[in-house]
Copies of this chain bind each other. A is one copy, B any other.
Amino acid sequence: MELQEFQELVSSATGRGSVLVAFIRCEVTYSGRAETFLPLGDRILILKADGSLLIHQPSGSTPVNYMKAGTQVVLTQENGALTVSARNAHEKAWLTLIVREVHDAIARKLEDGQSIDLAGNERDMSDWIRDNPSCISANFRPVQREEQTDVGFIDVLGHDGDGLVVVECKRVTASLSAVDQLRRYVERVQRIRGTMTVRGVLAAPAITPNAHEMLTSWGFTFCRIDPPKRLERWGKGQARLGQFP
C-alpha cells in the first residue's frame, strides 16, 4: 500500500470514529515517563477512536510502545517516509512513528456497548470472609469492610472478644509487602483506638517463607483462604470450559 493511500485511510478513519489496524515497517521514538527508541522493523499499529495508540511487535503479549486514550495524532509526509506524531498533553508524552512501508491496513467502525464481568477478585474474597467469619477464628465478628484510614483501606475489620482484628486479603501468594501493609494498618488502628489489643491476620491462598517469618515475628497470623471464583451462575458452562476439544 502506498504511503499516500495509508495517510488518507488514517485520516478518514480517525475522523469517522473508526478503529485502524495496520502492518507497517517503522521505527519508534518515545519520550514521557521514560525515553525509548525502537529501530526499524515490522510492527502492528492499532489506532482507536478514543485516541489510544498501540504498537505491537510480532511476538509478545504486551505492546512495545503505546499512548493512552486522548492522544492527538498528526501525519506528515516527506522524503518518502510518513511521520506519525502523537502527543498526549495530559500525560506529557510524545511518540513519533516513522513509517517506511505499509504492508496492509484495515479500518472500520466497531460497535461494542458491553463491559466485562469478572469474578474472583479481592473484593469477592473480603465479601466471602464477611459472610463466613468463622474462617478467621471461632469468635470473629466483622465490624466493617474496607475501613478508610490515612494510611489506606483496611480490607476487613472485626473483633473476636479479646479485641480488634485487622484482616488483609491477598488473592495470590502473600509477599513481604502484604505483611508491610498489614503492619501499617495494625499500628494505625492501635494508635486510633488507644492501647487496645489489635490482632493482625493475613488471609491468602499461600504465603512466601520470608513473608511468613516476618508475619510471625510481628505476632500476626496467617489464614489460608482460596479466592472464591463464583461464576457458578454460568452453570454447566464452567465445567465445559475446563475441557478442551
Question: Looking at the complex, which of A4-12, A52-60, A137-145 is the stretch in contact with chain B?
Answer: A52-60
* Residue A224, interface by CB 8 Å: no
* Residue A193, interface by CB 8 Å: no
Contact A242 B151 (CB under 8 A): no
Contact A38 B117 (CB under 8 A): yes
Q: How many angstroms between the C-alpha atoms of A22 and B241 in the bound complex? A: 24
| Closest beta carbon of chain B to A74's beta carbon, Å | 5
Known: A46-B44, A60-B69, A66-B61. A34 touches B119 (CB 8 A): yes
Q: How many angstroms between the C-alpha atoms of A57 and B177 in the bound complex? A: 33
* Residue A76, interface by CB 8 Å: yes
Chain copies in the assembly? 2
* Residue A196, interface by CB 8 Å: no
| Closest beta carbon of chain B to A25's beta carbon, Å | 8
* Residue A219, interface by CB 8 Å: no
Chain B residues contacting A58 (CB-CB under 8 Å) are 19, 48-49, 110-112
Q: How many angstroms between the C-alpha atoms of A244 and B71 in the bound complex? A: 12
* Residue A161, interface by CB 8 Å: no
Mark A106-148 against chain B: 1 for CB-CB distance below 8 A, else 0.
1010111111111111000000000000000000000000000
* Residue A67, interface by CB 8 Å: yes
Q: How many angstroms between the C-alpha atoms of A29 and B237 in the bound complex? A: 9
* Residue A81, interface by CB 8 Å: no
Q: A23-B110, A31-B241, A151-B210 are known; give 17 further A-B pairs, CB within 8 A.
A: A19-B23, A23-B106, A29-B241, A31-B238, A35-B120, A36-B116, A36-B118, A38-B115, A41-B114, A42-B110, A54-B61, A74-B244, A85-B245, A87-B244, A94-B241, A177-B180, A184-B214
